[in-house]
Structure 1
């Protein structure tokens, strides 16, 4: 009887061990590809490699140690990954053509990396991460119609990095809500592109670098208690603008704006609450139509300081400080 009970227990343990083992690997090489993987519970892992043609791919993993990786090389790409809980991680590398990628990760140790790399064409990338140790990196390198959106909500550290190149009518939008938010956006080349950073919570840090383009705009909005820091730069751009708004009570507001070797650029900084500091530096070249730099800084309560330096063409400065 004891032997029977022992055997029964051993079988139960084996069954439980087997029940926890999700793993999936899909490889598709050519023509009308589509892949779909759904794994519901425990040590999830998914790996999809596709090489060419009318790609698809859809991965959903719900509970436990999720990891997903997808590599697609070419043609009409589209990828969606959705992971629900615990050690989430997602990596997408898509190398070319009509790219689109969508990642949603909800709870626990989220990380997401999307590269839609050198041969990229109709790029788009969305990442939505909901809670805990979020981290996101999007690089869309080969150019064309880049768009990237990152939303990270909750936890002690949200971090996002976006790099986009040679796009027109493109945008990079980051919304972060939580503590210790970090955002880094870099756009190189292109026209009529927008960068919009919205950080809510405490201890935000934002850096935007925008080089070699025209009619691009950068907006940074930081709101909440504690130390906000923003650094937005435009280099060799024409007709571009930077707007920074920092609100909330706390000892540290910080903003630095630099627009160099460009024309018809403008900067606007508004700071509200405790220990503000702002520096705007603009250096332009004469433009046939005239015009040029403009800087407006508004600082409200407590420890104000502002420095504006302008060189070249029809400069205008307005600084208002209050207590």
Structure 2
């Protein structure tokens, strides 16, 4: 109780110091056990750090540098067990030379319970927040956040902050999160802000691996709002999610419509062993959900919209597999300027050894859009191949349902 109270007091003490005009560094370290090590380096003030270690040979290395009077770094570490390692590096700085008053707060907290767990955190810029929880042995979690977006976190419709959470319960799990938000300038000199990245990764079991990369950088258009969640329960599961690009589509009149046009959203859930899922989304308004239960399931989802399109930029995919040895490959694309969107897919497989390959694309205007695909397979040895492309007056729609075994379906529409 005394330790938690001290942590709270140290991390909450900054406002009073700032109000008094001081640029102070605050640090609290409590160690219970033997051969625990904590090394703290804080520069220029406005840095707060708290560490609690209980056990043997735990190690904390924290480096915090504040480059602005209005900036702040806050970090906390809890280690209970043996040979746990936590490394935190935080540097706050202005997004550009003309925005020295922009919010530049970095927040980091990690808690490790077990043996030989490792946490590595790097935060640069400001508006970065991360939390990591490890319970077990030999888990590894890495978080890298970089933010040079001037957009406030409270801005409407979306701010420019990075947020990440990683939870690991088990042994030998690995998780990596990379988030980047930055402003850019258009060809005409307009400010094109980067927006927010949000990631949540949960691993329960052994030897699971998860990687998340989110990029929201203003370039040919504003950066998107990326949201990703991954849950892995079992052993030897592998998940990779990549989100980036620039927003595609005219922004709606209401806040809800604007958020929809900014957003890349992804959810992946795997239960079993040796499931593999890879999701790639480029630009805004992509939505994906994937569920795998069983062993050796594999799903790859690629969605993309044209960077300088003017439509709503929508790609939607939902994939569900229950059983073993199922495979899904889906690619959806709007590859030309001024594409208005659509592309929808639904795939569900129950059984074993099922395979679905689907590709949808829109283009050639008039006006480009649509493409709808749905496939349901129950049994063993089923296979579906689908290719759809729009032109002229657009619209392609296909529905396939197979019940039994040794079924084959091939559909091609142009």
**TM-score normalised according to structure 1 size:** 0.49
Report the structure, 1 or 2, having the larger strand content: 2
